[in-house]
Structure 1
Amino acid sequence: MITDVLEIFAPYGPGSLFGALLVLVALYFGKQFLEEFKAQNERKANIDMKREERKQDEVNERAQRDRERSQMEGRIAAQMERSNTLIEGMKTLMESVVTSNEVLHADLVNSQARSQGMAAQVEHIRDRVDLLYDKEHNS
């Protein structure tokens, strides 16, 4: 087989045999280089793809946290609104109680004045009755 190859290149001289060997070696190493280059590019692509997936995961997590924060802020705002409504209701109730107490106090003062007036009338009636009683017993 080697002699067949030598016979093919014999008319062209030893330089052409060496040139053909050099081309074959260059093709072999070129193929190896291309395969390694493709493998390197695939690794870089995989790394880039994983990096992009991580970035996308981070973006999704951030969006989820933002949604949860927005929901929490909405619940807090609603709770604060309910609290404010309750506080306003309590203020109204307290104002009503104060007004009611003032009315009751005024009624109490009026009632005390009437009671004193009635007490004076009862005292007057008692004095009259005593006077009449004394006149009947003394006469």
Structure 2
Amino acid sequence: MEVLKLFVPYGPAWLGGVLLALIAFYFGRQFLEEYKLQNERKSALDIKREERKQDEVKERAQRDRERSEMEGRIAAQMERSNSLMEAMKTLMESVVASNDVLHSDLVHSQARSQGMAQKVDHICDRVDLLYDKESTR
């Protein structure tokens, strides 16, 4: 009642204005609390989103490291393969050269064998002639 007596000289309009101000203050305070709560939720979601982004960045970096290591191993394997291919190529060239030498030796040996065969035939013919002469005497 004391509060009402304070506003009696100002009239009922002032009392209504004060009541409206108190109601606005009450709902404004609740609105501010809800606004703060929403901001906290948004900031929590933003923090979670940033954490997910950081996790994705770390995961991508890990995949890139693994890919780089794999590419390094592949490059090393290819280098070993290339060196083995070069060694095999050199070996094959050596085998071809060796085969060429053996082939020329074989051709030369065949020519000598034919010459020896002709000499043996000649000697055989001479021996046969001598034998025929001795047997006819």
Unmatched segments (≥5 aa) in structure 2: none
Q: 1:33 Cα shift? A: 2.1
Q: Which residue of 1 aligns with 2:53?
A: 55
Map residues 100-139 of structure 1 onto 2, 5 A cutoff. Answer: 100-139=98-137
Q: Which residue of 2 aligns with 1:44?
A: 42
Q: 1:123 Cα shift? A: 1.4
Q: In structure 2, what is the Cα distance between the partners aligned to 1:120 and 1:19?
A: 146
Runs of 4+ in structure 1 displaced over 6 angstroms?
none
Q: In structure 1, what is the Cα distance between the partners aligned to 2:7 and 2:112?
A: 150
Q: 2:82 aligns with which of 75, 80, 84?
A: 84
Q: Which residue of 1 aligns with 2:66?
A: 68
Unmatched segments (≥5 aa) in structure 1: none
Over aligned residue pairs, what C-alpha RMSD do you find? 2.2
Identical-pair percentage: 71
Q: Which residue of 2 aligns with 1:33?
A: 31
Q: TM-score, normalised by structure 2?
A: 0.82
Higher relative contact order (CA 8 A, sep 6+): 1
Q: 1:18 Cα shift? A: 4.9
Between 1:36-45 and 1:17-26, the stretch displaced more is: 17-26
For these two proteins, the number of residue pairs brought into alignment is 136
